[in-house]
Chain A
Amino acid sequence: MTIPDAPPDPPSAPPPGSGRVTRPKLSRGGPNRSSLPPQPAEAYDPLPAIDKDGVLHTAPISEAIAQAVQRGYRVIGDNIEQGRAAAAEFRAGQYNVRDVPYDLNQMTLRLLDLTRQISGTTCDILEKLLRDQKFPGAVPRSEAAATGGQGAAPRAPRDFAPPGFRAAPPPPGPAMPTTVPLEVVFTGKAGTVRAASLSRPETPTPLVLPALAALDPALPPIRGATFSASADGQGVAVNISLAPDQPAGLYSGVICASDSMIPVGSLTVEVQA
């Protein structure tokens, strides 16, 4: 088998003494669209070179650059300081949602839970907002669940979490109750409750109790009942004002959702003689 001779090398002028052909170094590797002259790759290397003896070598810094950077640090330093002072000024004495007292928050959570019981969709967003708040010295959520809001779930602390930390999702809360505690508040003449029930409406709606009628149609009905949150924040209170001349007897009525007049509860009271 005959091996053909390798083609001769193209004529070139190798550098003296090297015996090798070298290509000229390109001044740039891509289109130059900026106003800058082409920059070598080393221009972007932010780390100074440290030689094998641990000696730090930095490229010479022009006075213009040194002054520019010095001015820059002075400007940003002043700005940061002014920003801190302004922030302190704005926060001092001003209402800040992060400073809401813990007890007010607890009350609000109870009211939200109450509203939540009346309607599954009511205030879901607002509830999440309040649960996401941080309170200095706040009682941990597990204690809060024991003392106040139903359905409260423990949350992992966030304040000093490392970057990238993501809190575990809270465990699912208890199932929504279908009944709502109903408290009856009498003013005026004395009365007692014989039977009371209230179911959770499907959609957020004010409640109405048009009238409490007696079994004896000759007796005047009791009207003007109003609804509010119960004193313990756990249910609904129906406020009934009994006129001094309201005849004694049993009176019954239906509690309705005001927008649809669909019955959601009932109430039977006895007016004392």
Chain B
Amino acid sequence: MTPHPAFAEPPGGEAADVMSEVLAEYGAAARVSVQHYLKRERPARYLDELVADYPGRGGKLMRPCICIANARAFGGRMGDAVQSAAAVEILHNALLIHDDIQDGSETRRGRPTLHALHGVPLAINAGDAMLLLALRPLLDNLRHLGQDIALRILEATQAMARETAEGQALELGWRDTNQSKVSDEDYLTMVLKKTAWMGMIWPAQIGLLIGSRGAVDPGRVVRFGFFLGAAFQIEDDLRNLVPDGGYGKEQNGDLFEAKRTLMLLHTRRSCTVAERRELDAFLALNRAARTESDVAWLAGLMEKLGSADYARTVAQGLAGAAIHEFGVAYGHLPDSRDKAFIAGLVPWVFERP
């Protein structure tokens, strides 16, 4: 059996080195650019300190690295992509601020969320400011990359913004209207819009446009980005159920929020009539009314019904589809560290710390 070039060694060998090397190198470059765009000679009170908070808490900077790696894989230079990578990271952090408010989350990257520290109004304002600050590096592209590519990047950004808002609307709407008839396909639609577009598809499209100087259709990476993003989100949801899931949110937070995860959907359709009655009663409560013992009961039910195993199976299947689509989107490119990094994202979504 001939191994795929991108997976010539099993995880733990050179592939893991590529991932950590690229994340370190491109992440550092993106971080410097983010700081450049967020820096103010005279910080505005109640604003700039908040704006700098989330980007200053670290993180893997996966999304900017995807942008830069795609730019280089398609023939571009890091210098051409690093500003756009900064825009990706700033916008991502802006959405995290709003996301934490919408979910009622209490911690982010091991510290209190921004609204927990400063209140909801100021946190919303900081998130709004960051959304608009993310435009600055994209506008600077006009000078560095030319009008055509800069405009196409802005168009891709607009499309992503629309998809992300729709995805978030689905997730929040299901929760707030206590929607129980959500199918796996509905879930995948929500994940595509809310997670995959912003996290995987959009950064890759920007990088592709920059690297190919607009020669390659950005639609090329949509399928790969979707399957990668879906696997990523399901893995995130699974990690929320275990202690120290490693991604900065409190354990079982999703259960407290009654977030419609693949596991919850599987549990609801697999349980007995009596259990479903009890589950629906739990879902009908608002977050504040859900107790630790309620959540523990639900977690136990999920485990009994094998919902986590089911979600893992789905995630693995989607990862397989991502590998296939990687070959379609990137297979023609010459082998490079950047191509290996992009390919390595598939196992990395499961192996990441």
List the interface of chain A (C-beta within 8 A of B): 28-30, 33-36, 39-47, 49, 62, 64-69, 71-76, 78-80, 83, 87, 97-98, 125, 128-130, 132-134, 158-167
Contacts and interface: CB of A to CB of B under 8 A. Distances in A.
Interface string B1-30: 111100101111100100000000000000
B351 A34 contact: yes
B75 A164 contact: yes
B75 A68 contact: no
B212 interface: yes
A168 B334 CA distance: 21
A103 to B, nearest CB: 19
B186 to A, nearest CB: 9
Contacts of B223: 76, 80
B340 interface: no
Contact of A30 (B4, B12, B219, B352): B12
A72 B322 CA distance: 10
28 contacts: A34-B350, A35-B235, A35-B245, A35-B308, A39-B11, A41-B10, A46-B323, A47-B2, A47-B4, A65-B317, A65-B320, A68-B184, A71-B184, A72-B188, A75-B226, A79-B189, A79-B226, A80-B223, A97-B151, A129-B142, A132-B146, A132-B147, A162-B215, A163-B211, A164-B74, A164-B75, A165-B212, A165-B213
B185 A74 contact: yes
A128 B241 CA distance: 53
B235 to A, nearest CB: 7
B291 interface: no
Contacts of A164: 74-75, 211-212, 333-334
A223 to B, nearest CB: 41
B327 A46 contact: yes
A71 B317 CA distance: 11
Given A33-B351, A65-B320, A163 B1 contact: no
A68 B350 contact: no
B353 A65 contact: no
With a 10 A CB-CB cut-off, give which of B188, B211, B215, B333 has the most chain A CB atoms.
B215
A44 B324 CA distance: 11
A65 B313 contact: yes
A133 B213 contact: no
Contacts of A97: 147, 151
A191 to B, nearest CB: 43
A68 B147 contact: no
Interface string B218-237: 01001100110010000100
B242 interface: yes
Contact of B148 (A39, A68, A133, A167): A133
A86 to B, nearest CB: 8
Interface in B303-353: 308, 310, 312-314, 316-318, 320-321, 323-324, 326-327, 332-334, 346-347, 350-353
B136 interface: no
Contact of A79 (B7, B192, B227): B192
A69 B320 contact: yes
Nearest to B351: A34
B214 interface: yes
Contacts of B3: 41, 45, 47
B238 interface: yes
A159 B193 CA distance: 30
B1 A73 contact: no
Given A46-B324, A165-B213, A129 B146 contact: yes
B215 A163 contact: yes
Given A29-B13, A72-B188, A161-B212, 18 more contacts: A28-B12, A30-B16, A33-B352, A35-B241, A39-B347, A44-B4, A46-B323, A46-B326, A65-B313, A68-B314, A83-B159, A128-B146, A132-B146, A132-B147, A158-B214, A163-B212, A164-B74, A166-B213
A45 B7 contact: yes
A29 B4 CA distance: 19
Interface string B174-199: 00000000001100110011000000
